[in-house]
Structures are given as structure tokens and as C-alpha cells.
Amino acid sequence: MSTIGLTIIDWIIIAIYFAFVLGIGFYLKRFTKDEEDFFLAGRKNSSWVAGLAFLSANLGALELLGMTGNTFKYGMYVAHFYWIGAVPAMIFLGIYMMPFYYSSKIKSIPGYLKLRFDEKTRVLNGIAFGIMTVLVSGINLYAMALVLHTFLGWNWDVSMWTSAITVAIYVTLSGLMSAIFTEIIQFFLIWFGLFLVSILGIIEIGSVQEIFNRIPESFNTLWSTSANPAENGMLIHWGGIVLGLGFVLSFGYWTTDFLVVQRAFSAKDLRTARMAPILASFFKMALPFIVILAGLIAIVLANDPNSGFVLLRDGNQINYDSALPLLIARYYPTGLIGLGVTALLAGFMAGQAGNISAFNTVWTYDIYKSVLNKNASNTHLLWMGRIATVVGVAISLITAYWAKSFPSIMDYMQAIFSWVNAPLFATMLLGMFVIWITPNGAFWGLVLGMSSSIIMYLAVKFQWISLSLITMSEVSSDMAANFWRAWWAWLICFIATIVISLFTKKKPKEELVGLVKGLTPETVDKEFKLIQRPIFWAIISLVVFAILNIYYW
């Protein structure tokens, strides 16, 4: 394919960004004195810093390339990932779950599972999370390579190695602290660097209304066509959206995925930690006005034979993820292309850094110290965290090539989440709100939940069973299968955990203080003014969420 030329100004902007990111890593290394600084950024951050980092850890390739490409494939229904697929879960995390996490002083989600249940449940989740994290981090390397390949013409290997080495250096130097600082810088870069795509697209096509007029009717609504899967772009029933995405995948990701929750752990106190996901929810709701709108613009241009806009292909397979880089190349003049490319690279670096910093924490505490070296000193754990960073990046290089084989990285991502996060949410929910759930119930429920999800995925992939058996619909898409598979895995884990708990030994109540609802001191924030309380901002967020869903019904 022909490359999109960059001028010397574009190159300078990109070079300054990479130099700046590496410079931050070297600068912050002097403040990384112990393992708490490396893994939890010293627990000193404000709600704004923790909140922006919380969202930025999620603003990787998945959000930018994946969601724009998915909009091209499925239409407006992709906005569900931002609204029903994020906001209620972020609010729930801030209001109900953060007190359990923060007050127990854990360093990871598997750490909570050890305290609430036992060591084997912790190790099972630690291993599953570690595998999931390196699979997902491969997405970011692949996406960075796609951008470098599209704009510079570099081959995939050079692009991926360049990206991997940069991330490995700055996360190895100062861990979560440098990851958070660069994530905040990247947050603003993404907004300023990519918002112009939507603006220029609207100008070329005429108006937002004209964009909606020129895309298929099945692609331009949120809920009105959800009663019949054949009438919407995602080929899914509203039940799959609400149960699979809105409940299981959403809550499973935002409340149990250590990648994002770790950022809230870095807050300076409990109120600040609770505010982090609530503040982030407002920015999350605004993101569709960059990525979803860009995807709709790409549809209009691709349907216009005179526009000259054609997505890249890998053989006979359309590369939906190429939509956003091609829009940047179409609209941005000299200098701005450099800013656009930098914004994309920033997003991928944020996602990659987030994955790797979460991976090194879980590996070091929940696998290495828990199983392999129980007497490791703090200095040794800091060293092991840095080694884990390099190893994690190396494994990500391998998984990046697997991610490249999927037509859309979003399909790949949701498949992974349905294997690990969906059943884990059932375990966490029961563990936090039901006192009599037992360690053996949690462990075997989690095993059955994860196993069932993987078996369902393989059964459909190799055509052992019909897809309609899982989605309960004659017409369905890969994404519909992901949503429904997540729901069934959650339900299997939920029921199995309850049944097994009825026949196995319970933990004494005195060991569960601070870990279970009813045995944990209530946090009502009486000492704060109304405007400072997390619940106040949570209600405002939910009102905005409701208005958006009704307006785009």
C-alpha cells in the first residue's frame, strides 16, 4: 500500500512526544523509592489525577481504533459501550465497591479474593488476569503498529518492536507513577488531537443530521430497533445489551478489572478514591462524540463512490480498525497529521502502560510472592516488578500477531472479557454482599464459569453448536455472541457458587470484617458538604446518562 507522507514538522511533533514520555520515566524514577511507590504510586493522588488516569487506562487502542472501526461495522449501537456499558458500573464501583477495596489496603483485586476467600481463589484469578492482560496488551502493540504502518510504511515487526521498547523503558523505571503521569498527558492529547476529525467530517458532509440521513436506518438509533435483532446493525436483542453488556461485561470490567481499579487505589483517601470513577464517568459519556461520530463519518464517505475513501484490506478481509487513521490522513494538514498520529500513539501507549503496570503488580504479589517466594523482601519485590514489566511486554509482542488476525480488535477484546471478567463479577458480587459464600464455593464457581465461557466460544468457532443456541436468535453477530456468552458464564458461576457454598465450610465472621456488606463500617461522608460527596455527583452522572439514552433512542 502507498504510505501517507509526513513532513519534517510532523516528525518533530512525534519525536518530542516520545522524548517527553521517556523523560518522565527517568525523572520519576527518583521518587520511586519502594514497592508501594512502584505499584500504587505512593497513594498520594487527588480525585482528578486518579479519575483521569482511571479513564485513560481504558483509552487505549480499544477505544480509539476499535470503537471507530466497530461503529463502521455495527453503527450507533456501539455507543452502548460508553453509556449503558460503562456509566452504571463506574457509579457502582465508586459508591458501593470502593470502600471494600480501599479500606482493606489491598494492592490488587486478587488480593481481595485472598482475604475474602482463600489463596487458591486468589492464584486462580491472578493467573487468569495475567493471561488476559498480556492478550489485551497485544492489541495496543498491534494498533500502534497499524498506525506506523499506515502513515510511515514501516513493516509490522519494526513498528511493534519500537512501540514495545518505549513502553518497557518508561514503565520499568517508575511503575504505576510514570504510567499515571503519562496517561493524564495522553488524555488531553487524545481529546485535542482527535476531536478535529469529527469537526472536519461534519464540515465536509454538511451537518450531524446529514450524517444520520446518509447512513442506513438500522445504524442510526440506540434502542428503537432493539426488539428485533434483524433490524439493527449489531443483530442483537435488547436483552443481550442489558444483561450481557450493561450488567455482566460492564460491571465485570469496571468493578473487577485491576487495570482500571488500580488507578483509583492510588488516591490519597477513601473519598478521593470513590470520586475517581464517578468523575471519569462524565468524560466517558462524552467520548462517543469523537469515536462514534468518526465511525459514522467513515460510513458516509465509504458509501460515496466519489469520496475516494476505502478501508484497508488484509487479503479478502476488511480491516475495520483502519477507519480512524485514514480519516486523520484525509483531513489533517501538515503538522496536524503529526499531532493526530501522536494522539493515536498516546492512546495506545496509555493502554499498553496500563496493562503492563497491572500485570507486573498481579504477577509480583498474587503469583510470585504468594506461590513462588513467600519471604521475598520489599527490595526484591521491586526488582521482580521491573523484571515482570519487561517479560510482560515481550509476551505482548507475541499476542499482538494474534490480535492482527481478527477483523476487529473489539470482537477479540470482548471475547477475552467474557472468559475472565464475566464469571469473576459473579464471584465478587456474592463475596461482597453475601456473608455465607464459602472459599470452595467461590473457587469452583469461578472454575466452572470461566470454563463454560471458553467452551462456548470454541463450540461456536469450530461449529460444534449453532450460534443461535447461545444468542437465542436466528440472526446474530460476533458481538451479540460475546454479550450472551458473558451472561451465561456469569449465571453459571453465580448459581454454582451459591449451590457449592450451601455444602461447604464458611469462614468465621470475624475474618470478614471490612470485606463484606454488613460487616463493614458505612461511609456516609457526613463531614463533607453536599457538593463534595460522591453520591451527589453520581446522581448527576446518572441523570446525564438517562438524557443521552432518551435523546438518541
pLDDT tens digits for range 349-360: 666 767 777 777
Q: Cβ contacts of residue 278 below 8 Å, gap of 6+?
A: 51, 90, 91, 94, 95, 534, 537, 538, 541
pLDDT of residue 523 exceeding 60:
no
pLDDT of residue 31 exceeding 60:
no
- The whole-number average pLDDT for the span 470-491 is 82
Q: Which helix (H) or strand (E) holds 317?
A: strand 317-318
pLDDT of residue 42 exceeding 50:
no
Contact 403, 412 (CB under 8 A): yes
User: How far, CA to CA in Å, does 338 sit from each of 99, 335, 443?
Assistant: 43, 5, 49
For the chain, the average pLDDT equals 78
| Structure confidence by residue, pLDDT tens digits, 376-402 | 777 787 778 778 877 887 787 787 777
**Angstrom distance (rounded) from CA 428 to CA 484:** 20
Q: Which residue has the higher pLDDT, 227 or 188?
A: 227
CATH of 8-207+254-403+524-551, one of 1.20.1290.10, 1.20.1730.10, 1.10.10.10, 1.10.287.110: 1.20.1730.10
pLDDT of residue 445 exceeding 50:
yes
Q: Is 314 helix (H, G, I), strand (E, B) or coil?
A: strand
| Structure confidence by residue, pLDDT tens digits, 48-74 | 677 777 776 666 656 777 788 888 888
Angle at 284 between CA 337 and CA 132, to 5 degrees: 85
Contact 408, 143 (CB under 8 A): no
Looking at mean pLDDT, say which of 52-66, 135-149, 231-245, 515-529 comes out highest.
231-245
Q: Are strands 313-314 and 317-318 parallel, antiparallel or unpaired?
A: antiparallel
Contact 146, 325 (CB under 8 A): yes
Q: Cβ contacts of residue 151 below 8 Å, gap of 6+?
A: 3, 4, 6, 325, 329, 337, 341
- The whole-number average pLDDT for the span 216-244 is 81
pLDDT recorded at residue 404: 67
pLDDT of residue 533 exceeding 60:
yes
User: How far, CA to CA in Å, does 14 sit from each of 25, 334, 346, 481?
Assistant: 17, 13, 10, 39
pLDDT recorded at residue 15: 80
- The whole-number average pLDDT for the span 459-465 is 83
- The whole-number average pLDDT for the span 208-235 is 81
HSE-CB of 312 using CA atoms within 13 angstroms:
22
Q: Which residue has the higher pLDDT, 13 or 451?
A: 451
Residue 441 is placed in which grid cell? 464455593
Whether the model pTM is above 0.85? no
pLDDT recorded at residue 1: 40
Roughly what angle, to the nearest 10 degrees, separates helices 47-56 and 270-286?
Answer: 50
> Which amino acid, one-letter code, is at 146?
L
Phi, psi of 345 (to 5 degrees): -60, -40
pLDDT recorded at residue 107: 61
| Structure confidence by residue, pLDDT tens digits, 401-433 | 776 666 566 667 777 778 888 888 899 889 888
User: How far, CA to CA in Å, does 69 sit from each of 75, 195, 229?
Assistant: 10, 16, 20
- The whole-number average pLDDT for the span 439-454 is 92
pLDDT of residue 2 exceeding 50:
no
pLDDT recorded at residue 39: 47
pLDDT of residue 153 exceeding 80:
no
Residue 301 is placed in which grid cell? 464517505
**Angstrom distance (rounded) from CA 47 to CA 158:** 38
pLDDT recorded at residue 29: 61
pLDDT recorded at residue 288: 85
- The whole-number average pLDDT for the span 215-223 is 80
pLDDT of residue 510 exceeding 90:
no
pLDDT recorded at residue 113: 84
pLDDT of residue 287 exceeding 80:
yes
Distance of CA 340 to the CA centre of its chain: 22
Annotate 235-271 with b (16+ C-beta within 10 A) or e (fewer).
bbbbbbbbbbbbbbbbbbbbbbbbbbbbbbbbbeebb
- The whole-number average pLDDT for the span 463-478 is 77
The dihedral of CA 289, 295, 300, 304: what is its sign? positive
pLDDT of residue 146 exceeding 50:
yes
Residue 116 is placed in which grid cell? 475474602
| Other residues' Cβ atoms within 10 Å of the Cβ of residue 177 | 26
pLDDT of residue 480 exceeding 70:
yes
The full set of domain ranges for the chain reads 8-207+254-403+524-551
pLDDT of residue 492 exceeding 90:
yes
- The whole-number average pLDDT for the span 111-125 is 84
